[in-house]
Amino acid sequence: MSAGDVRVDWRALREAVRDTGLRAWPLTRAVLAGTVALGSAVGLSAVAAWLIAKAAQMPSPADVALAATIVRTFGVSRGLFRYLERLASHDAALRGVVTLRERVYDRLAGSGARTVMGLRRGDIVARMGGDLDAVGDVVVRALIPLGVAVTVSAISIAIVAVLLPLAGVVLAACLLAAGLVPAVLTLRSARIAAVEGTKARAEVTAAALSAMDGATEHRVWGTSSAAARALRDADADAEHAHELAARPAAWAVGAQSLFSGIALVALVGLGVLAVRAGDLEGPLAAIVALLPLAAFEAVGAVPTAVMQLFRSATAAHRLRSLTPAEGEATADATPASSPSTSPATLELRDLRAAWPGMTPTRPVTATVPPGGVLAIVGRSGIGKTTLLTTIAGALEPAGGAALLGGAVVTPAHTGHAIAMTAEDAHVFGTTVLENLRVARGSVTEDEAWDVLELVGLAPWVRSLPAGLDTELGADGRSVSGGERRRLLLARTALAPAPVLLVDEPAEHLDAAGALALRALVSRVRGEGRTVVLVTHDLALLDIADQVVSLDG
C-alpha cells in the first residue's frame, strides 16, 4: 500500500481505539473534570452577572457576600479542574498509545514480511510514529472535547430554561446550530485535508529519511540538490495540506461567532421583555443575557474535534493496512502454533520468484537435506535475491512451491524456521553484543566471543574502547564494509533457525574473511542446519553440495 493510498476508515478507528485498551471510567473521569472546569466558567458568568446587576440595586453587603465567595470559588475551581482534566485525559491517552503501540508491534512481528517490504522506510516510520500518535490524539482532541461540549451545553440550557423557558429553547437552538453547522462546514473539507495531510506528512518523512540515509551517495553522485528539491516539494505539499485544513476551521469559527452573537442578542431581548413584563427580576435577567458568553466556549471545540476524528481515522486505516486487526485472518498472519524448528529437508519444486509486475525467474528444482548447502548463482538483476526472499516465505511464489519438512513454506516460517540475512541487513546503533542478540536474544557473552572468533572479528572487538559493549554507529556506518559483513555472518550463525539464507556473504571480504566464511558454513552444516547462499563469487561454490544457476 502506497503512502497515497489512504482514506477515512471509521471501522479502523473504532478497532484502533478498542486496541488502546481504553476503559469507560478513565474517559468518563476526564469528561467529568472537563465538564466541571467549563461548568465553572458558566457558573462564574452566571453568578458574576447576577452580582453585577444586584450591586446596581445598592443592596447590603450581606446580600452579596455569598455571591462574591461563589465567584471566587468558581474562578479557582476552573483552573484546578482544567488541570485535573489535562491529567486525566493525557493519562488515558498516553496509556492507550503505549498499549496500542505494543499490540501493533506484536502483530507486525508476527505477520509476514510482505506487508512492509513494498513500503518505503520513511513511510513505515511515519505509520509507526505519527499515525500511532494520531490515534492517541483522538481521545484528547476529539472524544473528550465532544463529551464536554454536550454536558456543558446541557447544563447551560438547563440553567437558562429554569429561569426563562423560551430563552432556554433559543439557547438550545443556537448551541445546536453552533455545533452542527461548523461540523457540516468542516465535513467535506476535513476529509480532504485529513487524507492529504496524512499523505503529505508521510512524504516529508520519507523524503527527509531518504536524503539523510543517502547523504554520502548524494554527495558522491552530485544528486544532493535533487534530494533537497524533493524534500522542499514534499514540504510545500504539507503546507498546502495545512492550508486546506485551516480554511474550514476559519469558516467554522465564523459560523460559531455568528450563532453566539444571535444567541446573545436574542437572550438580551428576551431578558428585557421578561423584566418589563414582571416575569423576571433584573439580576436573574442578567444571568439569562450573559450566560451565552460562557456557554459557547464548549461548542467552540467541535470543529477541531471533527478535524481530529478524520485525521485519526485516516491514520488508523494506514495502521490497519500495515498490521491486520487482532483475530483477523490474513495470508500473512502467523498461525497459533509456530512451525517446527527441528532440522528438515528443504525442497524447491519448480519454484519461480518475482515481484508484482515483473518477469518471474526460471523454475528452480532442488532438494537440500539437513546439513546441506545450496548455492544460487546468476547474473546481476536476474532475481537471485527475489528467489531467496521467496524461499524465506516473505514473498508469494510466482509459480511452484518451497517446502520445508513436506509443508509449504508460509510467512509463519520467516524468522522462526527460516532465517535470512540480506545483503544490506541493518546494523543497529547499539552495542556489538546487542547487534548479535538480534539473531537470538539469549546470546551470552561467551557465545558472542566464540562466534566472533569464528568469523575473525574477535581481535577487532577487543581493540574497541568497550569491547562487546562498544556502541556502533547508526546502520553500522562506524565500521568498515568487511567488518560489517563479518558481523552479519556472526549474527547468521547465532540464529536458531534450521534453515539459513545468506545473500552475498563474501562481499567486502578479503582472503581471511573468505576463510572465516568457510569455517562458519562448516560449523553450521555440522549442526545439521541447511544453508542457501546467493553469491557472485564462484570460488565459493566448492563448499556447496548443489549449485543452481538462474541463467539457465
Domain end: 289, 307, 322, which one? 322
The DSSP element (H or E) to which 368 belongs, if any, is strand 364-368
pTM for this structure? 0.61
**Structure confidence by residue, pLDDT tens digits, 106-149:** 777 655 555 666 565 556 666 677 788 888 888 888 889 999 99
Distance CA 142, CA 247 (A): 19
Domain end: 306, 322, 338, which one? 322
Are 369 and 316 within one domain? no
Are 269 and 379 within one domain? no
**Structure confidence by residue, pLDDT tens digits, 324-338:** 544 444 444 444 445
pLDDT at position 450 is 92
pLDDT at position 428 is 82
**Structure confidence by residue, pLDDT tens digits, 150-174:** 999 999 999 999 999 999 999 999 9
Are 29 and 151 within one domain? yes
Across all residues in the chain, what is the average pLDDT? 82
Are 308 and 361 within one domain? no
Q: Can you tell me the mean pLDDT for 16-23?
A: 84
Closest Cα to residue 170, out of 246, 56, 271, 312?
A: 271
Are 156 and 301 within one domain? yes
Closest Cα to residue 266, out of 177, 381, 200, 395?
A: 177
pLDDT at position 5 is 43
Are 406 and 284 within one domain? no
> Is residue 219's pLDDT more than 60?
yes
Q: Is the dihedral of CA 262, 265, 271, 276 positive or negative?
A: negative
User: Domain residues for 284?
Assistant: 10-322
Instruction: Report yes or no on 332 lying in a domain.
Output: no
> Is residue 514's pLDDT more than 60?
yes
> Is residue 6's pLDDT more than 50?
no
**Neighbour order of strands in the sheet with 418-421:** 418-421, 499-503, 530-534, 373-377, 546-549
Query: Residue 350 — left, alpha, or beta (φ > 0 → left; ψ -120 to 50 → alpha)?
Result: left
Instruction: Report yes or no on 60 lying in a domain.
Output: yes
pLDDT at position 464 is 87
The CATH number assigned to the domain holding 215 equals: 1.20.1560.10
Give residue 86's identity as a one-letter amino acid code: R
Domain end: 322, 356, 388, which one? 322
pLDDT at position 328 is 45
> Is residue 7's pLDDT more than 60?
no
Place of cell 545473500: 503
pLDDT at position 164 is 92
Are 363 and 314 within one domain? no
In Å, how far from its chain's centre is CA 212?
Answer: 21
Instruction: Report yes or no on 331 lying in a domain.
Output: no
Instruction: Report yes or no on 526 lying in a domain.
Output: yes
Asked whether the beta carbons of 512 and 506 are under 8 A apart, the reply is no
Distance CA 429, CA 541 (A): 34
pLDDT at position 334 is 42
Instruction: Report yes or no on 335 lying in a domain.
Output: no
Are 251 and 361 within one domain? no
The CATH number assigned to the domain holding 456 equals: 3.40.50.300
Place of cell 511464489: 397
Are 194 and 314 within one domain? yes
Instruction: Report yes or no on 1 lying in a domain.
Output: no
pLDDT at position 456 is 87
pLDDT at position 125 is 63
- Highest mean pLDDT of the ranges 339-348, 391-400, 509-518: 391-400
Q: Is the dihedral of CA 221, 223, 227, 230 positive or negative?
A: negative
Instruction: Report yes or no on 338 lying in a domain.
Output: no
The 10 Å Cβ neighbour count of residue 345 is 15
Place of cell 562487546: 468
Distance CA 252, CA 258 (A): 10
pLDDT at position 327 is 46
**Structure confidence by residue, pLDDT tens digits, 45-89:** 888 888 888 888 888 777 778 888 888 888 888 889 989 988 988
Are 39 and 184 within one domain? yes
Q: Is the dihedral of CA 455, 458, 460, 464 positive or negative?
A: positive
Instruction: Report yes or no on 4 lying in a domain.
Output: no
pLDDT at position 420 is 86
> Is residue 97's pLDDT more than 80?
yes
Number of domains within the chain: 2
**Neighbour order of strands in the sheet with 399-404:** 364-368, 346-352, 399-404, 407-408
pLDDT at position 8 is 61
Q: Residue 86: helix, strand or coil by DSSP?
A: helix
Asked whether the beta carbons of 435 and 491 are under 8 A apart, the reply is yes
Distance CA 474, CA 525 (A): 32
Are 294 and 352 within one domain? no
Distance CA 455, CA 433 (A): 15
- 424/133: higher pLDDT: 133
Place of cell 564462484: 538
Are 252 and 350 within one domain? no
Residue percentage of the chain with pLDDT more than 90: 22
Distance CA 393, CA 411 (A): 5
Give residue 540's identity as a one-letter amino acid code: L
**Structure confidence by residue, pLDDT tens digits, 281-315:** 888 998 888 888 888 888 888 888 888 888 888 88
Distance CA 252, CA 216 (A): 48
